[in-house]
């Protein structure tokens, strides 16, 4: 089976038989060298190392392929066979035109063409780089990535704005969505779980913009976060205690602060015998537990029908006999149902929200309840929150790119008609030395009321052991 027309085939078959045998050898050499090429490929040098002659050659051979390819046959062909067809075409085209292109450059060209045909074009090399956490396309010639907590401009470029739009439409099409002038915004997910937001003209004035939050394949545990200096060993032991005692936990922080990463790490501490239901807007959580049901919200279709919100899923989850609920992010009317679940026997539930401190997280939840249209007196709202939430953990992405837990606070109840909150851990004495942020993880104390709650939940022995290790 071939993806090229007969006319193109006859033209390429004019080479001599001995030349053809050499091409077979060259093809196998290129294939065998591809793995080594991928192992050493870095996004900063991939395109900048290509000469102008190579770039021109790539454009010519790509145009030739597009003109003569049988799109129907290519769509039905397995990727392995398609790769062989493209390799043969590129190598024979190179021989025919006696191009001065090296083996490595030919393999780069083959990979680029395949990425454009069946992948996500220039984004593929970034998606394969495990050190990259975010990919941000501002325009066809301006692409940024986040690595190790910091943003870097890349040398990756699309051919033009139309090329970016084609990739955007391919991403949306994979999940049955559309992106066009009538629907210029789309939230999508790649096959590996990476979260994608796409926005195009007319609402995006500078052209199509794509933001990708990569799904981390590596499962990070609390011990890993201690190694990264994101929290202290004492913080880790306390959070293990909190999980055992089935405390209700809210994780707060800004965008990209590491809330979901910490939520994943905390979820690994849940007893494997418990039934856990996770609810998310875009499935990012990686719960390595045997008894998990994962739910994901759904936006409306082009006709405006089919919407399923986080609140809808949360209401349904309460009928599914959960021991704990893990909500990816709370940001609207679902706050009421989440607190209701925490107050009615689903201890040990967890969620995240955006805020700048643990105290502000409480204000955010208050606002969510009031904006949802619940006509409760302010004191009732505060009492409802104070009864439901036990701990708030605040994470911050700092100037040096390291994500740290800067506060662990306990909600103690109401005092003078206000929610009383006390810090258990703080990140203090912050300073900067040669671009690195330094500070101390400081333990305050565990209030007596929280100690009693932990003991009542059957974790008294673990609490005593923790207090022994934390004492000076």
Kindly state the average pLDDT of the residues 429-445: 89
Question: In the structure, what pLDDT confidence band is assigned to residue 450 with cuts at 50, 70 and 90?
Answer: very high
The answer on pLDDT for 10 being more than 70 is no
Q: Per the domain annotation, does 458 fall within a domain?
A: yes
Question: In the structure, what pLDDT confidence band is assigned to residue 2 with cuts at 50, 70 and 90?
Answer: low
pLDDT at res. 60: 80
Question: In the structure, what pLDDT confidence band is assigned to residue 104 with cuts at 50, 70 and 90?
Answer: confident
**Mean pLDDT: which of 45-59, 66-80, 227-241 is highest?**
227-241
- CA-CA distance, 408 to 417, in Å (whole number)? 23
Count Cβ neighbours within 10 Å for each residue of 436-461 and write b for 16 or more, e otherwise: ebebebebeebeeebbebbeebebee
457 shares a domain with 314: yes
Q: Per the domain annotation, does 439 fall within a domain?
A: yes
362 shares a domain with 307: yes
283 shares a domain with 254: yes
The model's pLDDT over 182-219, given as tens digits with 9 standing for 90+, comes to 889 988 888 887 889 999 999 999 899 999 988 777 78
The model's pLDDT over 301-330, given as tens digits with 9 standing for 90+, comes to 777 788 899 999 999 999 999 999 999 888
Q: Per the domain annotation, does 1 fall within a domain?
A: no
Domain boundary among the residues 118, 142, 163 is at: 118
Domains held by the chain: number = 3
CATH number at residue 174: 3.30.450.90
The answer on pLDDT for 40 being more than 60 is no
Residue-range definition of the domain harbouring residue 200 = 125-213
Q: Which helix (H) or strand (E) holds 150?
A: strand 150-153
Q: Per the domain annotation, does 451 fall within a domain?
A: yes
The answer on pLDDT for 20 being more than 50 is no
108 shares a domain with 135: no
The model's pLDDT over 216-255, given as tens digits with 9 standing for 90+, comes to 777 889 999 999 999 999 999 999 999 999 999 999 999 8
Which pTM was predicted?
0.78
307 shares a domain with 160: no
Determine phi and psi for 258, rounding to 5 degrees.
105, 25
Percentage, residues of the chain above pLDDT 70: 88
Kindly state the average pLDDT of the residues 143-160: 88
**Radius of gyration for the chain, computed over Cα atoms and rounded to the nearest angstrom:** 27
pLDDT at res. 338: 92
290 shares a domain with 205: no
Q: Per the domain annotation, does 149 fall within a domain?
A: yes
Kindly state the average pLDDT of the residues 84-99: 79
Q: Per the domain annotation, does 298 fall within a domain?
A: yes
Q: How many CA atoms lie within 13 A of 35 on its CB side?
A: 2
In terms of C-beta density within 10 A (0-12 exposed, 13-18 middle, 19 or more buried), how is residue 401 classed? middle
The answer on pLDDT for 361 being more than 90 is yes
The answer on pLDDT for 36 being more than 60 is no
Q: How are beta strands 391-397 and 403-415 bridged, if at all?
A: antiparallel
178 shares a domain with 59: no
432 shares a domain with 370: yes
CATH number at residue 443: 3.40.50.300
The model's pLDDT over 54-66, given as tens digits with 9 standing for 90+, comes to 777 777 877 777 7
The answer on pLDDT for 38 being more than 80 is no
The answer on pLDDT for 12 being more than 80 is no
- CA-CA distance, 375 to 234, in Å (whole number)? 42
Question: In the structure, what pLDDT confidence band is assigned to residue 393 with cuts at 50, 70 and 90?
Answer: very high
pLDDT at res. 390: 95
- Sorted by sequence, the CB contacts under 8 Å of residue 445 that are 6+ apart come out as 424
The answer on pLDDT for 431 being more than 60 is yes
pLDDT at res. 455: 93
Domain boundary among the residues 118, 138, 158 is at: 118
Query: Nearest CA to 405 among 434, 440, 369?
Result: 440
* Token reading at 395: 């994470």
Q: Per the domain annotation, does 227 fall within a domain?
A: yes
- CA-CA distance, 149 to 404, in Å (whole number)? 11
Task: Pick the more confident residue, 26 or 438.
Answer: 438
243 shares a domain with 199: no
Q: Mean pLDDT lowest for which of 71-75, 89-93, 256-260, 376-380? A: 71-75
Kindly state the average pLDDT of the residues 387-400: 93
311 shares a domain with 422: yes
pLDDT at res. 4: 57
Q: How many CB atoms lie within 10 A of CB 332?
A: 13
* Token reading at 373: 């249209």
Q: Per the domain annotation, does 265 fall within a domain?
A: yes
pLDDT at res. 23: 32
Average pLDDT, the chain: 83
Domain boundary among the residues 118, 146, 164 is at: 118
Q: What is the torsional sign of CA 384, 387, 388, 390?
A: positive
The answer on pLDDT for 258 being more than 80 is yes
Kindly state the average pLDDT of the residues 339-353: 91
244 shares a domain with 132: no
pLDDT at res. 34: 39
Cα 359 to Cα 19, 407, 419: the distances in Å are: 74, 10, 9
Kindly state the average pLDDT of the residues 68-97: 77
457 shares a domain with 309: yes
């Amino acid at each position: 089976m071939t993806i090229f027309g007969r006319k193109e085939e006859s033209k390429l078959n004019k080479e001599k038989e001995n030349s053809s045998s050499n091409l077979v050898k060259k093809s196998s050499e290129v294939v065998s060298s591809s793995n080594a090429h991928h192992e050493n490929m870095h996004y900063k040098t991939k395109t900048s190392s290509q000469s102008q002659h190579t770039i021109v050659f790539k454009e010519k051979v790509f145009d030739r392929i597009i003109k003569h390819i049988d799109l129907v046959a290519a769509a039905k062909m397995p990727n392995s066979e398609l790769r062989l067809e493209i390799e043969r075409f590129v190598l024979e085209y190179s021989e025919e035109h006696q191009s001065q292109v090296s083996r490595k450059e030919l393999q780069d060209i083959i990979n680029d063409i395949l990425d454009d045909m069946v992948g996500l074009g220039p984004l593929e090399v970034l998606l394969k780089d495990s050190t990259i956490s975010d990919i941000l396309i501002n325009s066809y010639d301006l692409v940024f990535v986040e690595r190790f907590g910091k943003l870097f401009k890349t040398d990756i470029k699309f051919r033009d704005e139309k090329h970016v739009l084609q990739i955007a439409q391919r991403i949306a099409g994979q999940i049955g969505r559309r992106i066009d002038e009538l629907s210029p915004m789309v939230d999508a997910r790649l096959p590996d779980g990476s979260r994608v937001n796409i926005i195009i003209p007319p609402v995006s004035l500078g052209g199509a913009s794509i933001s990708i939050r990569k799904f981390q394949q590596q499962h990070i545990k609390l011990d890993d976060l201690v190694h990264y200096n994101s929290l202290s060993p004492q913080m880790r032991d306390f959070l293990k205690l909190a999980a055992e005692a089935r405390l209700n936990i809210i994780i707060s922080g800004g965008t990209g602060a590491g809330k979901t990463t910490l939520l994943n790490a905390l979820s690994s501490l849940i007893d494997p015998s418990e039934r856990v239901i996770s609810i998310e807007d875009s499935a990012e959580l990686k719960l390595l537990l045997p008894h998990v049901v994962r739910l994901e919200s759904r936006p409306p279709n082009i006709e405006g029908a089919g919407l399923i919100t986080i609140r809808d899923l949360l209401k349904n989850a309460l009928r599914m006999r959960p021991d704990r609920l893990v909500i990816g992010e709370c940001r609207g009317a679902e706050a009421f149902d989440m607190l209701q679940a925490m107050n009615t026997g689903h201890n040990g539930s967890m969620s995240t929200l955006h805020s700048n401190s643990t105290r502000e997280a409480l204000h955010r939840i208050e606002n969510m309840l009031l904006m949802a249209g619940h006509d409760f007196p302010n004191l009732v709202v505060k009492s409802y929150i104070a009864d439901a939430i036990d701990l708030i953990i605040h994470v911050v992405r700092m100037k040096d790119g390291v994500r740290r837990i800067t506060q662990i606070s306990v909600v103690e109840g109401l005092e003078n008609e206000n929610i009383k909150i006390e810090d258990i851990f703080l990140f203090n004495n912050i300073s900067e030395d040669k671009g690195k942020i330094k500070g101390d993880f400081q333990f305050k104390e565990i209030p007596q009321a929280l100690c009693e709650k932990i003991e009542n939940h059957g974790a008294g022995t673990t609490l005593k052991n923790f207090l022994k290790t934390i004492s000076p």
